[in-house]
Chains A and B, each alone.
Chain A
């Protein structure tokens, strides 16, 4: 955690020294800031374009002007009053939330066990879990599909969620973070009479709260934006998640870009909220982790 602080420090120092460096320009600074600015533009442009497109009428869609001649919020009223959008939004929200809760819970549980208990086959199990990280989703969807089919999970919420209820990445992350929790804490709690689950829940978890928040953000965003698997496993429109649903705006007569962009703009709102919510907690967690003992 000190790393984060140190890098924040150095960032701040970088800023002030850049400010201080008036007079003859440092060529490296010019190069650095130019590259960063270009990077920022590349990152921001699609978002700007998305927002701009969401307030355009269809006729203006293919003009590449950023500020429309006739801005309108009609797209928003249309999308928000369309029952499908709200339904998909709700689906995505439900699925992402449940998956996040489940994955954070189980990842932390398994990571803790792998980190703090010695048992036969521990290393093997850890390596086995890690090795699944090397298999891309694209390869997994086929076995997932076959599995869902034989269990009758196709076209159901559970079918969309089950691959994500636990993650190898989260398990790995949590195991690494639990390494930073001194065993003394756990032993003190053991002497105080807590059982192993209580020790995990009320002593170990609060001590890795920043990691939990980070993991929650990752998992929520990952599920919120997941496209391939929900597309494959769902059939009925009612079960679409937002990313899947948004693409169907385009399969009617013509591609309705302004509606897709409006939906996409609305879809970023929960991710922003989740990030802002947990980010505060991460910063508080960092401050807490700084103390010894």
Chain B
């Protein structure tokens, strides 16, 4: 087990810089998820931790030791890849044992270790099969087993679940989380799926264009997004953004005045999570016409046009509003997210 620390990490390909000075501290045993849109530099960051990519600037430390110039094999890390990278010509047993080839331990111990890992991943019955005879989820388990078998200080995952179908993905998500709770190994996990990030992480690192946007627990990044990008990236459906005007003690949005002190005056962006915006019969914040309905079962998403701006609100799934109807929407003023002209959270 070990800490991972990135200090002012930079990566350039030729003349283009793709990581612009990343700093991050991962505690021992922590599960950190790097999340962000495609091309933001998640994989690059992970591969630099692994040693598969040269460091152009800054430092990577594992367990306090600078590893910039260590070979991947000397960093005591294990990595699981998106397409599993398990060898089709080897049995599951050989694949899992592959990471032990270099380990100096008696063959019997190695065999026992492989059995142990297979048992943890419930793959004992499949040890003598070839990857071709396994399902996608089982293959990914083999890949995880191969990483586990060496008992590395740090686990690195690069979108390990994105080749699986939705159901299997949520199942494997739980399994990886359970595994972490059991082994307490430091994990750095890359995904572009915010649901994966929210459900698994101790802390989430949200990246965009080679910069870290925010680091925080799932609750923090959800409830106190640092900027508009994070606010929109985390949570589904995305947060509604409305142009508003702040005056002392209140904010004017879509022609209505909401009782909330922004602490500043002038133009302001108001964010409202669809969950916080309810179709209601009681006191309302906004009024608008329903332009689209998206039934989800327990709830229905209503797309409502309020004074020329479209917002998404939640309505009861049992008696949703009619299409084209004029409805009342309510949001508690304390649930508003406020952002200044630069997109930064206010307060």
Contacts and interface: CB of A to CB of B under 8 A. Distances in A.
Interface of A: 182, 184-185, 187-194, 203, 206-207, 209, 287-293
B298 to A, nearest CB: 36
B88 A288 contact: yes
B277 interface: no
Interface string B40-59: 00000000001110000000
Contacts of B89: 206-207, 209, 288
6 contacts: A182-B85, A191-B52, A192-B150, A194-B102, A209-B89, A293-B139
B88 A188 contact: no
Contacts of A194: 73, 101-102
Interface hub of B85, B87, B99 (most chain A Cβ within 10 A): B85
A184 B82 contact: yes
Contacts of A191: 50-52, 72-73, 77-79
Interface residues of B, number: 28
A194 B71 CA distance: 11
Nearest to A291: B132
A189 B48 CA distance: 16
Contacts of B131: 291, 293
Contacts of B272: none
B14 to A, nearest CB: 12
B87 to A, nearest CB: 6
B85 A185 contact: yes
A292 B84 CA distance: 9
B98 interface: yes
B225 to A, nearest CB: 33
A188 B85 contact: yes
B126 interface: no
B163 interface: yes
A190 B52 contact: yes
B81 A188 contact: yes
B86 interface: yes
A191 B102 CA distance: 11
A258 B328 CA distance: 103
B83 interface: yes
A281 to B, nearest CB: 12
